[in-house]
Amino acid sequence: MEAPRLAHTMSSPTSPCEEVIKNLSLEAIQLCDRDGNKSQDSGIAEMEELPVPHNIKISNITCDSFKISWDMDSKSKDRITHYFIDLNKKENKNSNKFKHKDVPTKLVAKAVPLPMTVRGHWFLSPRTEYTVAVQTASKQVDGDYVVSEWSEIIEFCTADYSKVHLTQLLEKAEVIAGRMLKLSVFYRNQHKEYFDYMREHHGNAMQPSVKDNSGSHGSPISGKLEGIFFSCNTEFNTGKPPQDSPYGRYRYEVAAEKLFNPNTNLYFGDFYCMYTAYHYVILVIAPVGSPGDEFCKQRLPQLNIKDNKFLTCNEEDGVMVYHHAQDVILEVIYTDPVDLSLGTVAEITGHQLMSLSTANAKKDPSCKTCNISVGR
C-alpha cells in the first residue's frame, strides 16, 4: 500500500507554514537535529529504545518522488507510530550554506507498510542530489514523541523530467507560440576558428557535442544529448535571419530542407526563459533511425512535422515550405554531423550581442509562463 504524502514540519513561530500543510492528512511537528540535539521547544521526550532503521533502500526515483524502505529489529516494533525522515540537498563543499537549527528539514509520516512513497514538489527538485536519514518514533499520550537513534545517511539523486512533465511544458509553450512565419534556412553562428577547426580536423563536417545545462533543471537532454545547435528565427520585416548574434561573427547557413524533411523526426525538448520577457523553445531534429532519434524517442514528446505550433515542414506544389513560431525563440538541435559543403559560411554585418547568449543559462524558477508544478 502506498503511503500518504509527506508534509514539511512546521517552522519557527516567526515563519509558520500553515498554507503548506493545510489540507494534508499528516501531522506536522518540529523535530530534533539529525545528530540527536533537540531544539529547546521540540517537545520530544527522552530517547528510549526503539528499533533503528538500517539497510535503507531508495527505489522508484522520479523527478519529484521516491520510495524508501529499510530493515529494523522486531523488538518494540509494535510501538512505532511515526517515521521521521531527514531529507536534505547534498551540500556543495564550496558553498557557504546557512542552516539555522530552527529551520527544519524533517518530514513526518504515520507508520505505514514499507516501501513508503515520499512525494511533494515543494521540497523535491529534479536532477538534484539529496541525503536522507530515518528515525522511528512513538507518539505518547501527552503528545510528546519517543524517538530512536538516526539511521545511517544515504545519498541519492532525483531523476529528469519524464515525458509527462515535458508534455506539460509543451502545452504551456504552445499557448504563447504565436502565428507562424516563413523561413528558408537554418543558421549557426560561431567564430572563424570554429569553422577552420572543423575543416582541418573533422573532414569539413561540424560535429555534434553534448548539450550544456541551459534551460529547465530537469531537462533530460541537458548534459546527455549530442547535437549541433541551429537557429531558424527570422526578422518580421525582412523574412531573413537577423544580422546580430551572440555566438560569433561568422554564420553558416543551410537550406532548411537539407536538415528538416520527411526523413527526420521532430521532438520537443524544453521551454524556458532567463528572467526576460521572451521565451525559448528547444526542438530536436533527428534523422529517422539515428542514435539521436532513438535517444529522443525514449525521453521526449514527438511532434508532427507537418502540424505543430513551432516548426513545420510541408510540401506545396512540389516544393518544401517551412514555417516557424513568431513569438518564441527557437533553438534547434540537429543530432548528426553536418557537412559544411551543404551550405555557406560568411561574416555577419551586425553586432555580436553577448547578452543574448543562452550558454549554461539558468531558467527563471518563478516564471508562471514556463514552469510546471514539479520541482524546479
Query: Which domains can be identified in the chain, with CATH numbers?
Result: 54-158 (2.60.40.10), 163-347 (no CATH)
C-alpha to C-alpha distance for 236 and 258, rounded to whole angstroms: 23
Q: What is the pLDDT of residue 177?
A: 95
What is the grid cell recorded at 129? Answer: 542530489
pTM: 0.78
pLDDT band at 12 (very low <50, low <70, confident <90, very high): very low
What is the grid cell recorded at 86? Answer: 531527514
Average pLDDT over residues 59-87: 90
Q: Which residues pair with 65 in a beta bridge?
A: 119
Give the residue, 117 or 283, on which the prediction is more confident: 283
Identify the top-confidence range among 68-82, 122-136, 148-162: 148-162
pLDDT band at 32 (very low <50, low <70, confident <90, very high): very low
Beta strands, E only, 204-287: 205-206, 209-210, 226-231, 250-255, 264-272, 280-287
Amino acid in position 173: A
What is the grid cell recorded at 300? Answer: 521526449
Cis peptide before 115, with omega less than 30 degrees from 0? yes
C-alpha to C-alpha distance for 104 and 368, rounded to whole angstroms: 27
C-alpha to C-alpha distance for 187 and 239, rounded to whole angstroms: 14
Kindly state the DSSP code that residue 354 receives in the 8-state scheme.
G
When the pLDDT of each residue in the chain is averaged and rounded to a whole number, the result is 81
CB distance 159 to 62 below 8 Å: yes
pLDDT above 90 covers a percentage of the chain that reads 52
CB distance 322 to 312 below 8 Å: yes
CB distance 90 to 129 below 8 Å: yes
